[in-house]
Amino acid sequence: MEASVKLLSFCTRHHFPTSLFFKLNHKPLYLPPSSFQTPSLKKIVTPRIFLSHRNPSHPLGFSRTPFTSQFLNPFLSTNRFARIVSGTQERFFNWHYAGGSEKGNEIGVTPKEGPIVTVVMLGWLGSKQKHLRRYIELYNSRGIHAVTFVASVKDVLSFDLGKKLEERIAVLANELALWLSETDEDGRERCLIFHTFSNTGWLAYGAILENLKSRQDLLEKIKGCVVDSGGDPNISPKVWAAGFTAAMLKKRSSFAYPSVEAGEGNEVGSPLTLGNVQVNGAMLMETLLFAALEKLFSFLLNLPDVNERLTKILSILVNNQPSCPQLYIYSTADKVIPFQSVESFIEEQRKIGREVHSFNFGSSPHVDHYRTYPDNYVSVLQKFLQECMLIPNEVHKVKGQPHQ
């Protein structure tokens, strides 16, 4: 209760930041083809910014070499970019190589034929790197490298008006562009697949697409997109409030559990199994926090600049996604993202000619389908990867395990 009152009081006094997550007040990333020619790499910026660059001895073709300013998004100053990349306190995306080490290729995990694939995992609001571990293992076991990106509530609603998160998305887009633009030593194609979680990850995907929109050659290397518990194109204060409430209260929130009607609302530790006093207290705190956040987002999401920015990102997701297969994983019992909105969006995508696959897990909670139904989840995902021709049909099967 105290947290919700403070939040509402703060918003009233200080006019809560209007940029939030997706007010990206910068120009789209422009990476001209000439920027990737070897001569341009001779220029070293000051201060020296060390990032990945081609090294045939590295399984991903990377080495620590100076990074040219021609790769940088214009939004980022050289000094700011250097601090973000080099600061150990601000590590925001991580590479995870197939095989569990930088020598994944050498132990026979990565297929010798076909494209070299990296999955870009964009986590749900409040997720941490450890929460994506089981998903990383799932992809790595199939010879697919992974890049993970997460955003905390603090990242989104921070005193710097979300600038750090905006910059991080731009830097991630640059990293992906650089990796895709390099040619592997054996000549195999490099390509990406995206796996987004909740609407937070899905909107981050839209922001990355906007950053890369001037590079059609790179967009064509995106071979598939998995939308897990996301895909609601409506700018709804209720959805935003529900997502933030779930992220702030975590397992104490009823949004983290399926509905009673689904027959699975009695999990040990859920609000429904606590004592009456605890139940009443937890539900009251959640109700007040949700009401405060709904009022907050009813104001913020209707501000012209915020609404315009979100509309632009959603327009990309509705009309200008890459022409690759899409997989929507959702459930009827999801209390954060309405399943009707997801199904409506799926139908709209099919009407404009997109190849869309979907699976309704029924009773599993928001972003909890893998833990609730591990075998079915693995089966659905593996079939999709095979249809995208990203893994061979005879790839070894690994039994799914729940994330923590």
pLDDT in tens, 147-172: 999 988 887 775 444 567 778 899 99
Strands of 175-214 (E only): list them.
190-197
- Whether 292 has a pLDDT exceeding 50, the answer reads yes
Q: Give the distance from CA 199 to its chain's centroid.
A: 9
Average pLDDT on 195-215 reads: 95
Reduce the secondary structure of 291-303 to three states and give it as a string: HHHHHHHHHHCCC
Cα torsion angle, 4, 8, 13, 17, sign: positive
Q: Report how far residue 120's alpha carbon sits from residue 210's, in angstroms, rounded to the nearest whole number.
A: 16
Sign, CA dihedral 371-165-78-316, equals positive
Tell me, what's the pLDDT at 339? Answer: 97
CA angle 2, 7, 163 (to 5 degrees): 145
The pLDDT confidence band at residue 189, using thresholds 50, 70 and 90, is confident
pLDDT value at position 158? 59
Q: What is the pLDDT of residue 87?
A: 38
pLDDT recorded at residue 304: 87
Whether residue 228 contacts residue 369, with contact meaning beta carbons closer than 8 Å, is answered with yes
* Cα-based distances in Å from 63 to 67, 144, 166, 179: 11, 20, 26, 12
Helix H or strand E segment including 369? helix 369-372
Give the Cβ contact number of residue 122 at 10 Å.
29
How far CA 160 is from CA of 19, 91, 373, in Å, comes to: 9, 18, 40
Nearest to 352 by CA among 321, 327, 330: 321
pLDDT digits (tens, 9 = 90+) for 48-71: 333 433 444 344 444 333 333 334
pLDDT value of position 111: 56
